[in-house]
Amino acid sequence: MIKLKTCTTLMVTAVMAVAISSPVMAQDTTSKAQKRQQDKNNMRNLGTGLGAAGAAAVLKGKTGTGLVLGAGAALAAKKYDDQRKAQQRSEAAARNARGGYPTARAIEVLVNKEPVHFTDSRATMIGSRVYVPVRGVLERMGAGVRWDAATRTVVATKGDRDVVLPINSYTAKVDNKAVALDAPARIINGRTMVPLRFLSEAFGANVAWDAADRQVNISS
């Protein structure tokens, strides 16, 4: 008699092989992104189905069958999680190659109604946040900006206000007091990019976003 563990492996392998080679997922006309999403959906549905069937089998007293199906559900869940993480890594790599998220057209930044011209990079939208090169806007507002390469930190000063913003950190310091961020400073294509609204408001400026014209208006 084949041991239960061997039966589990054989059955789960067969079920997953069928799911992965499904004709729906193998269409030549389907783009890579769509196929990845289909793979994820099929694997998630497979895991859900196997888990439900396993639970039903146990309730009917078919413990062995329930174990087999439960093992299949666990494998499908792990496969789904692996696919999800791989897709996230792929999307992140593509965004980094583009220098951020795609935008319909350039974002314009104005300080006291005067446009800010960026020399080596441009404002970009990442998620729902506008990022700008570390210099330009702050210097137009009269703030001094310094980059500490040793600690990978942006230091901005205006009057008696000091703002310290470490790269990739969700915590900044304003006058040596910790402040939580919902968007960290980043390095994109070799340039230091900072969340515009936080830094502007940290120095007492008012920031307004005009989505229709893709324009940021800063009043200081």
Q: Please check whether residue 39 is in contact with residue 20, taking contact to mean a CB–CB distance below 8 angstroms.
A: yes
pTM of the model: 0.48
- At 106 the pLDDT is 82
- At 18 the pLDDT is 43
Query: What are the angstrom distances between the C-alpha of 58 and each of 51, 53, 62?
Result: 11, 9, 5
Per-residue pLDDT of the chain (220 residues; tens, 9 = 90+): 444 445 445 454 544 444 444 444 444 444 666 676 677 677 777 777 777 787 787 778 888 887 877 787 788 788 877 877 777 677 666 655 555 544 446 889 899 889 988 877 788 888 888 888 878 888 888 899 998 989 999 999 999 999 999 999 999 999 999 999 888 999 888 888 888 888 788 888 888 888 888 898 988 7
- At 127 the pLDDT is 83
User: How many alpha carbons lie under 13 Å from residue 39 in its C-beta half-sphere?
Assistant: 21
- At 29 the pLDDT is 42
Sequence-separated contacts (24+) of 80-87 with Cβ below 8 Å? 80/40, 80/43, 80/44, 80/47, 83/36, 83/39, 83/40, 83/43, 84/40, 87/36, 87/37, 87/40
* Region for residue 61 given its phi and psi (left: phi exceeds 0; alpha: psi -120 to 50; beta: otherwise): left
Query: What are the angstrom distances between the C-alpha of 35 and each of 28, 68, 69, 127?
Result: 10, 28, 26, 24
Q: Please check whether residue 200 is in contact with residue 218, taking contact to mean a CB–CB distance below 8 angstroms.
A: yes
Best CA proximity match to 201, nearest among 176, 183, 218, 214: 218
- At 157 the pLDDT is 93
